[in-house]
């Protein structure tokens, strides 16, 4: 199924799996486990179990369209480890959770920068609509800046800052309001059917799923169009395709 879009004034983008991808997610999680061991005085297997339990709580909240961020995950680990509740320990563990991916690094997905720059030259407004987990908006901003993607995004909507994750239409509506665009004149691009496709469609936006970094096989309604990599979005908007 492939649809083209006429007179699009704005495009919003998901972040993870769409514009950026982890270089080594396992290494980032290992850094967080080491921080639990060091700060809370538990052994490595217990640290791994605590982090998995905390992440499960985040995931359960996310699927319920709620937030359970790094601070709450760190607090959960502290409580379960039987720590007396030293505020400095909690703050340091939260920071370790937040910045682990900053240390292990991320890469831009194929053609991400070129696609954003082409939309910018064409006068199409651009925003980010990003759910945050362990990594908060302030850290994602820094990584997007390092990859030279942030200057080509006019507004960044993060779930930890807006207060709701996708598929809640409010986070999409916030981004569109900042761009001065109506839903019917906008397209959202992301990799997940439950959050990106369903959330944007509920607001009346066009939807494109990009599957090159992560191919969502969930048995859920498909996007209006599916592309392998971001540059394939351009012809769908009536813009020239990039040279192969």
pLDDT per residue as tens digits for the range 5-60: 999 999 999 999 999 999 999 999 999 999 999 999 999 999 999 999 999 999 99
Determine, yes or no, domain membership for 3.
Answer: no
Domain of 222, CATH number, reads 3.40.50.1000
Q: Are residues 68 and 119 in the same domain?
A: no
Q: Are residues 48 and 141 in the same domain?
A: no
Determine, yes or no, domain membership for 43.
Answer: yes
What is the C-alpha separation between 186 and 207, in angstroms, rounded?
9
Residue 90, domain extent: 25-104
Q: Are residues 100 and 115 in the same domain?
A: no
List, as one string, the DSSP characters of 58-124. HHHHHHTT----HHHHHHHHHHHTT----HHHHHHHHHHHHHHHHHH-EEEPTTHHHHHHHHHHTT-
Residues of the chain with confidence (pLDDT) below 70: 1-2, 83-85, 244
Determine, yes or no, domain membership for 16.
Answer: yes
* Residue ending a domain, choose from 84, 104, 124: 104
Q: Are residues 139 and 227 in the same domain?
A: yes
Q: What share of the chain is helix, strand, coil (3-state, %, to 5)?
A: 50, 15, 35
* Residue ending a domain, choose from 82, 104, 126: 104
pLDDT, residue 1, reads: 53
* Residue ending a domain, choose from 77, 104, 131: 104
Q: How much is the pTM?
A: 0.94
Q: How many domains does the chain have?
A: 2
């Amino acid at each position: 199924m492939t649809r083209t879009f006429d007179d699009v004034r704005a495009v919003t983008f998901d972040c993870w799996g769409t514009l950026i991808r982890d270089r080594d997610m396992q290494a980032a999680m290992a850094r967080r486990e080491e921080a639990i061991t060091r700060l809370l005085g538990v052994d490595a297997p217990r640290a791994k179990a605590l982090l998995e339990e905390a992440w499960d709580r985040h995931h359960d909240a996310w699927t319920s369209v709620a937030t359970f961020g790094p601070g709450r995950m760190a607090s959960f680990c502290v409580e379960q480890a039987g720590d007396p509740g030293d505020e400095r320990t909690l703050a340091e563990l939260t920071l370790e959770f937040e910045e682990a991916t900053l240390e292990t690094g991320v890469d831009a997905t194929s053609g991400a920068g070129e696609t954003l720059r082409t939309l910018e030259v064409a006068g199409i407004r651009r925003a980010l609509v990003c759910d945050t987990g362990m990594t908060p908006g302030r850290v994602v901003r820094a990584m997007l800046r390092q990859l030279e993607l942030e200057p080509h995004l006019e507004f960044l909507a993060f779930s930890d800052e807006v207060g709701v994750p996708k598929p809640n239409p409010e986070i999409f509506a916030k981004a569109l309001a900042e761009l001065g665009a109506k839903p019917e004149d906008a397209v959202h691009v992301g990799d997940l059917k439950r959050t990106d496709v369903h959330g944007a469609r509920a607001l009346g936006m066009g939807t494109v799923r990009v599957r090159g970094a992560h191919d969502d096989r969930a048995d859920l309604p498909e996007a209006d169009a599916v592309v392998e990599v971001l540059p394939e979005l351009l012809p769908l908007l009536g813009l020239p395709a990039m040279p192969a």
